[in-house]
Amino acid sequence: MRAPGSSSAPASASAFDTRWSAAALAALVFVLYGGALGAEFVLDGEKIVRDNALLSPFEPLRILTLDWWEGAGRADGLYRPVSLLVLAALRAVGGNSPAPINFANVALLALVAWLRFELLRRLLGARPGALGAAWLASALALAHPLNAEVVCGQVGISDLLASVGMCSAVLLASAAPRASHFLLAGLCAALAALSKESGVLVVPLAVLFEALRENPPTPRARRVALAFVWSSLGVALALACRFAAIGALADVDDPVYAGFSAAARMASSCAVFAQVTLTNLAAPWRQLAIVGPQDAPPAASFADLRALCGVAALLVLALAPLFALRRGRRDLAFGLWFFACAWLPTSNLLVSTGALAAARFSFAGSFALALPVAALLAQAWRRAGPARATSAALTCALLGGLALLTQREVAAWNSSRTLRELQVARAPHSSIALLDLGLELGEHDPAAASALFTRAVNAPLVFLPGTQTPPEDLLEAVFLAHLGNARIAEEAGRGADAVAHLRAAEQAAERGRAARESLPFVENWGAQRVGALHKLAALELARVRELSAPTRSAALDAIERDLDACDGLAPGSPETVRLRSLLFDRRGDSAGRTRVIEQAWRAQPGDPLLRILWANELRQSQRVAEALELELAVALELFESFDPARGLALARESVVRPEPRLAGRGRELLERLARLVPRTPQQRAVALEAAAALRDLSPAPANAR
């Protein structure tokens, strides 16, 4: 309370300074990240948003029950309903354009910057230079290039929403010790954890804020206890919602350290902390969008120098605050301790994050780590002479340098291709980076794509500690690179090269399948090997006609061995049946072909491919009506994926048949084809021809269907 007659000018000036400080942060955000407004969908934004059929129509209650990756075909236990709902709403507004999401991300970063500034301002209280230190820490954090991945990556909205929820919760609870404030704070904490798993950091954020803030208005111990209670209850509410929606409190899928011993996992996590996380912060011109095993090789033990450096850095983060507190520097203690807490959920020590490391993993804690730097610069500024000049020079150099790097990073994130090209430039020996760029270029520049695939398969491998098996992500990249080279060679008419690449892909898949028997690999490597063998058999069957008789017989025997291997891995596979029927054809054994197809069809009468194969056999036997019955059923059931030209031919053949059922189903297929929404010239032509054929028909008889 002010003394009677005291002036309100200092308070008004402080409020004025605070508003201008917040406005300056917002302006800085739009200057640095305005280039993101025109960015394309990139990386997970393509899978989670652009290509996610489950996000439309916009049905909030249904979307709130979805797993984060469900729309990409692999639910893996990530539950982020708030972020998914916001993305679905923005996609509904923008259609196929990422513009609304990009704008929301930039605006949310401005909001996060202001909330962080407010939080640090309250943390520092009336400490000399508090306003300047809070502003500079917020500015350094938002100017750092790591934000480019969060803002430009579309799905980075989950990090932004989680940070908004966490900071809002702490600010609400710190405003006044009232039950309503704590209730709202707990709700914000729950929303943060439901935006992204890093939202659980609201608990250490709230506790450290109350434990270390300058001059709290009520007893510190009581506020710390209350902070722990309301933040923990908010996280518990989020976990309850998660369990109700997907039936699990925590799932660990895609473990990046699958097959590692406990010591190797801990050593590797510490090595990645030193080699990637701290390097991203201190030398952000080398940060990678995707960190592969070759970029941060596994550490077998703490004898690895990188692991020792990581341990040393963690000890500094844990122990330096104790010395800072002895000197009354609560600000330094808060920054270092919260940054360490923010790293733990992404460290792969406690739970698997599904990735070795990423720049975005440091987003939640970056402002805290910036606080000690800002506080020291602000302290130097308050001194006269060289200290002030040095502080000003360092501040300008830091903000200017980070701003330039950030704008370069934002430009790279504007398109998938430029991002992948930068990734390869920074990680030229990463098979994953080379594969991704090769896949990006595959349709437009096959020669460049093939060169990248070749580099990917020839890059030096790293292995799981104590084994000769590469990490699963790396093995998968090699497998896919061989498949990519095989496809390009086949399209170029280089059959022998395509066969060699497919054989190498099959061997890589077999390596993964064998490893899966003793290691907790998650990929279905048996299915991958079958897929490679199918492609190999199809290619060999196409080439076998060109061979002389002795060589031809040996090639057919080799194909049969491959198909036998497929039967051993995936018994009853319709594609294996199709290829085996072609094998019988090449041997001139039509009876064997008919037998193998009929046996498979009777075992799986509902399979579309087997129905089509059996229909072809029926046509060979002049049993056309039975064949048409099967073909029409498949065409109608799989209308969206069935070849429209083939469907039109079947419909025309059926409508003139004397059997009423066949004629009726043929008319039904014609009607659906006539209503087809054309996406290609072929579909447009089919729709027009179907409509014309319908006009030529007499009205359908009442019993036709």
- For residue 561, the model assigns a pLDDT of 95
Residue pair 604/630 in contact (Cβ under 8 Å)? The answer is no
The average pLDDT across 125-133 equals: 85
- For residue 5, the model assigns a pLDDT of 39
Residue pair 598/607 in contact (Cβ under 8 Å)? The answer is no
Residue 129: which pLDDT band, with cuts at 50, 70 and 90?
confident
- For residue 251, the model assigns a pLDDT of 61
Q: What is the DSSP letter of 3?
A: P
The average pLDDT across 323-338 equals: 93
- For residue 698, the model assigns a pLDDT of 64
DSSP string for 46-86 = IIIIIT-GGG-S--HHHHTT--TTGGGT---S---HHHHHH
> What are 48-57's contacts with CB under 8 Å, separation 24+?
48/72, 48/84, 48/87, 48/154, 48/155, 49/87, 49/91, 49/98, 49/101, 49/154, 49/155, 50/96, 50/98, 55/84, 55/87, 55/88, 55/91, 55/92, 56/88, 56/91, 56/92, 57/92
Question: What is the spatial distance between Cα 127 and Cα 134, in angstroms, rounded to a whole number?
Answer: 11
> What are 585-590's contacts with CB under 8 Å, separation 24+?
586/541, 586/544, 586/545, 586/556, 587/556, 590/620
Q: Hey, what amino acid is at 524? A: N
In a domain, 577, yes or no: no
Mean pLDDT of the chain: 90
Residue pair 38/101 in contact (Cβ under 8 Å)? The answer is no
HEC sequence for 97-112: CCHHHHHHHHHHHHHH
Question: What is the spatial distance between Cα 67 and Cα 47, in angstroms, rounded to a whole number?
Answer: 13
Residue 126: which pLDDT band, with cuts at 50, 70 and 90?
confident
- For residue 705, the model assigns a pLDDT of 44
- For residue 176, the model assigns a pLDDT of 75
Residue 244: which pLDDT band, with cuts at 50, 70 and 90?
confident
HEC sequence for 259-326: CCCHHHHHHHHHHHHHHHHHHHHHCHHHCCCCCCCCCCCCCCCCCCHHHHHHHHHHHHHHHHHHHHHH
The average pLDDT across 251-260 equals: 71
- For residue 231, the model assigns a pLDDT of 95
Selection from 134, 171, 597, 149 nearest residue 414 by Cα: 149
The average pLDDT across 440-448 equals: 90
- For residue 14, the model assigns a pLDDT of 57
In a domain, 657, yes or no: yes
The average pLDDT across 512-527 equals: 90
Residue 7: which pLDDT band, with cuts at 50, 70 and 90?
very low
The average pLDDT across 553-573 equals: 93
Structure tokens at 332: 């330094």
Selection from 127, 135, 175, 120 nearest residue 27 by Cα: 135
In a domain, 94, yes or no: no
Q: Hey, what amino acid is at 593? A: R
Per-residue pLDDT tens digits for 655-678: 989 999 999 999 999 999 999 888
Per-residue pLDDT tens digits for 621-661: 999 999 999 999 999 999 988 999 999 999 999 998 999 99
- For residue 704, the model assigns a pLDDT of 46
Structure tokens at 135: 């502003």
For residue 26, the Cα-to-chain-centroid distance in whole angstroms is 28
Q: CA 376, 382, 387, 390 torsion: positive or negative?
A: positive
Q: Hey, what amino acid is at 298? A: P
The average pLDDT across 429-458 equals: 94
> What are 476-480's contacts with CB under 8 Å, separation 24+?
476/512, 476/523, 477/292, 477/431, 477/432, 477/434, 477/435, 478/431, 478/508, 479/505, 479/508, 479/509, 479/512, 479/528, 479/532, 480/435, 480/439
Alpha-carbon distances, residue 222 vs 217, 232, 462, 541, 626 (angstroms): 11, 15, 52, 78, 81
Weakest mean pLDDT among 239-253, 475-489, 553-567: 239-253
- For residue 10, the model assigns a pLDDT of 42
1 SS3 class: coil
Residue pair 682/645 in contact (Cβ under 8 Å)? The answer is yes
Structural domains of the chain, count: 1
pLDDT of 155 over the 60 cut: yes
- Please name the helix (run of DSSP H) or strand (run of DSSP E) that holds residue 341, with its range, or none: helix 330-343
pLDDT of 133 over the 50 cut: yes
For residue 1, the Cα-to-chain-centroid distance in whole angstroms is 53
Over pLDDT 70: what percentage of the chain? 95
For the chain, the helix, strand and coil percentages under 3-state DSSP, each to the nearest 5 = 75, 0, 25
Q: What is the DSSP letter of 355?
A: S
Per-residue pLDDT tens digits for 580-627: 999 999 998 999 999 999 999 999 999 999 999 999 999 999 999 999
Alpha-carbon distances, residue 663 vs 153, 551, 617, 627, 658 (angstroms): 53, 49, 22, 14, 7
Q: What's the pTM value of the predicted model, to 2 decimals? A: 0.86
DSSP string for 113-153 = HHHHHHHHHHHHTT-TTHHHHHHHHHHHHHHSTHHHHHHHT
- For residue 365, the model assigns a pLDDT of 94
Question: What is the spatial distance between Cα 53 and Cα 71, in angstroms, rounded to a whole number?
Answer: 6
In a domain, 667, yes or no: yes
The phi, psi pair for 78, rounded to 5°, reads -90, 125
Question: What is the spatial distance between Cα 187 and Cα 200, in angstroms, rounded to a whole number?
Answer: 13
The count of residues in the chain is: 705
Task: Give 400's Cβ-side CA count (13 Å radius).
Answer: 6
Structure tokens at 429: 């020996």
Over pLDDT 90: what percentage of the chain? 68
pLDDT of 67 over the 90 cut: no
Residue pair 101/157 in contact (Cβ under 8 Å)? The answer is yes
Position with higher pLDDT, 208 vs 682: 208
In a domain, 395, yes or no: no
In a domain, 208, yes or no: no
User: Which residue range(s) make up the domain with 698?
Assistant: 623-705
- For residue 683, the model assigns a pLDDT of 86
pLDDT of 128 over the 90 cut: no
Per-residue pLDDT tens digits for 11-65: 444 555 778 888 899 999 999 999 999 999 999 899 999 988 899 889 999 999 8
In a domain, 291, yes or no: no
pLDDT of 258 over the 90 cut: no
In a domain, 635, yes or no: yes
Q: What is the DSSP letter of 346?
A: G
- For residue 248, the model assigns a pLDDT of 73
